[in-house]
Structure 1
Amino acid sequence: MRRSLFLLIIGLGGAAILLALGIWQVQRLGWKQAIIADIDSRIAAAPVALPTNPDPETDSYLPVAVSGQIEPGALHVLVSQKQLGAGYRVIAPFRTDEGRLILADLGFLIDEQKDSAAPIGPADITGNLQWPREVDGFTPEPDTARNIWFARDVDAMAEALGTEPLLLVARETSLADSPVTPLPVDTAAIPNDHLQYAITWFSLAALWLAMSLAFLRRRPAAKAES
C-alpha cells in the first residue's frame, strides 16, 4: 500500500510539474504574440522624418522616409535567400538632404552581381530604423580585402564608413532598374516556438500519467501472480 501511494504521488507530482511547464509556455506564447503584434503595428505605421537623436529602445522599427544621396563605399553582408541562393545585403553610406550621413540597408544583391557597381546617386528611401543584434562570439571578423561581412554590426560599419551608428532598412526605394532588391524588416525572423514547447510539455505530462497508471495497474497483477 505504501509503495502504491508513493508511486501515485510520483506520478501525479511529475505530471503536475510537466503541466505547469506547458501552461507557462502558453503564457509565454501570449506574451510573444503581443510583442510581435506591437512590432508589426510600428513597422506598418506612416513614415516620419528621421529623428534627431534616435533611441535604440524607443525608435527600433520606426518607419522613416528620407531623401538624399547614396555615396560610394557600400559594404556587403553575406546572406542567403530562398529560391535565390547566396548573396549580400548592401549597406551603403547615405547622406540626407539635411546633411546627415547614415547607414542604408538597400537590400539583397545576388552573388553573381557582387562586383557590379552598387547604386550611387540621388535616392528616396522609405524603411524602418533597426539595430540588429547579429554579432556573437562565433561571428567571423569581416574580410575587408574582399568586402565581405558576416553580420550587420552597426557600430563597426558606421566606424568603417564614417557615418552615424544608425541603420535604415529600406522597404521601398526610388532606384530604377537596380539589381538590389529591398529586404524589409519582417517579424517572421523573430523566434516564436512557445506553442511547440507547450505541446511538448503537455504531451510529456500525458505520457507520464499513462506510464504511471500502467505501472500502478501492473503491480497488483504481478503481486497476485506471485
Structure 2
Amino acid sequence: MTKREGQGARKLSFGLVAFAAFAAVCALGFATLGVWQVERLAWKNDLVAAVEARSTAAPLDLNEADWGAIDPEVSEYQRVSVRGRFEGDDTLSQAVTVHGGGFWVMTPLALDDGRALLVNRGFVTAAERDAGIARPDDAVAVSGLLRASEPDGGFLRSNDPDAGRWYSRDVAEIGAASGIYNLAPFFVDADKTDESYPIGGLTVLTFSNNHLVYALTWFGLTLLSLFALYWLLRDRLRR
C-alpha cells in the first residue's frame, strides 16, 4: 500500500467512526425522548382520569369546607357549591372562548361568615361589557368547578392592575387591586344557568394528548439511527 493509499484509508476510517458515533448519539437521544413521551403519556392519562372524576363527583360545599385544607393544584376541577352575595367591583380578564374574544367576569362572593372568594361568573363580549353587566342583588347559590389561581399572566403579557388590564385570573393580585384581602386562594368557574350574559360553564375539560404519536415518532427515529449505524459498520461486523 502506498503512502497516499494509507492516508486515504485512515481518512475513510476516521469518517466512518465519526458517522458511527453520530448515529449512536442520535439513537440514544431519540430513545431518551421516546421514553420521556411515554412518561408524559402516563401523566396525561392520569390527569384526564382525575379531572373526569373530580368534575363529575358530588359537589364540595365551600360554606362548610376548611379552605386552608384545600390545595388548589390538587383539587382543581373539583365540583363545588357555595352560597353568598356578590359584592365589590367586577374584574374583567381577557378571554378567548368558543364565542370568540371577550372577557371573564370575576366577581367577589361574600359569605355570611366573612370569608370571600372570586367567582368567574362567565364570559361577556366587549359589546356586552359596554352595555353593562347584570348582577343579582340577592343571595345566590353558585355551583361550578374549583380552579387554581393563574399568577403567571396570559397571552404572553403580565397583568396591569393600575390600567385595569387583566390577562390572567390571578386571585391574589385581583384581591389586592380590589382591596379584598380575605379571598380564598382559588376561584370558582360558575356553571351555565341560562342563555344570558355572562355565559358560564365554559371551562375546558378536554386536553390534547398526542404523546403516543410523539413517542412512536421518536422510537421510529431511534430504529432508523440504529439501522444507519449497522449499515456503516456492516462490513466490519461481517469480518
Larger helix proportion of the pair: 2
TM-superposition CA deviations, 1:40-61 (whole Å, max 9, x none): 2112111121023242344433
Question: How many corresponding residue pairs?
Answer: 214
Q: Which amino acid is 2:45 matched to? A: Q
Matched, 1:52 2:72: no
Q: 1:136 to 1:73 in 2, by over 3 A?
A: closer
Deviation for aligned residue 1:9: 7.0
Task: Pick closer, same or farther for the CA change 1:186–1:80 going to 2, 3 Å.
Answer: closer
Find the partner of 2:31 among 2, 15, 19: 19
The counterpart of 1:109, out of the listed 124, 146, 155, is 124
Query: 1:132-162 deviations in whole A, cap 9, x for unaligned?
Result: 33515953332544x4311111111122231
Q: Which residue of 2 aligns with 1:80?
A: 96
**1:144 to 1:180, Cα distance in 2 relative to 1, 3 A:** farther
Alpha-carbon deviation of 1:62?
2.6
TM-score of the superposition, structure 1-length normalised? 0.76
1:96-134: CA deviation from partner (whole Å, max 9, x where unpaired): 354432110111111221123223223321112221335
Distance change (3 Å), C-alpha of 1:144 and 1:109: farther
CA distance in 1, matches of 2:124, 2:191: 15
* SS, match of residue 182 in structure 1: coil
Residues 21-75 of structure 1: per-residue CA shift (max 9 Å, x gap): 3133213311221132112211211112102324234443332112222234110
Matches within 5 A, 1:108-187: 108-121=123-136, 122=138, 123-133=140-150, 135-136=152-153, 138-142=156-160, 144-145=162-163, 147-161=164-178, 162=180, 163-165=182-184, 166-173=186-193, 176=194, 178-187=196-205
SS at match of 1:118: coil
CA contact (8 A) 1:25 1:195 kept: yes
Pair member with larger Rg? 2
SS in 2 for 1:141: coil
Specify the code of the residue in structure 1 equivalent to 2:218. Answer: W
**2:5 alignment counterpart:** none
5+ long unaligned stretches in structure 1:
221-226
SS at match of 1:76: strand
The alignment-based identity, stated in percent, is 28
The TM-score normalised by the length of structure 2 is 0.73
**2:20–2:229 CA contact under 8 A, matched in 1:** yes
Q: Is the 8 A contact 2:106 2:118 kept in 1?
A: yes
Describe the shift of the 1:178–1:98 C-alpha distance in structure 2 as closer, same or farther (beyond 3 A).
farther
Deviation at 1:205, TM superposition (A): 1.4
Using the TM superposition, name which of 41-50 and 3-12 deviates more: 3-12
Q: Offset at 1:180?
A: 0.9
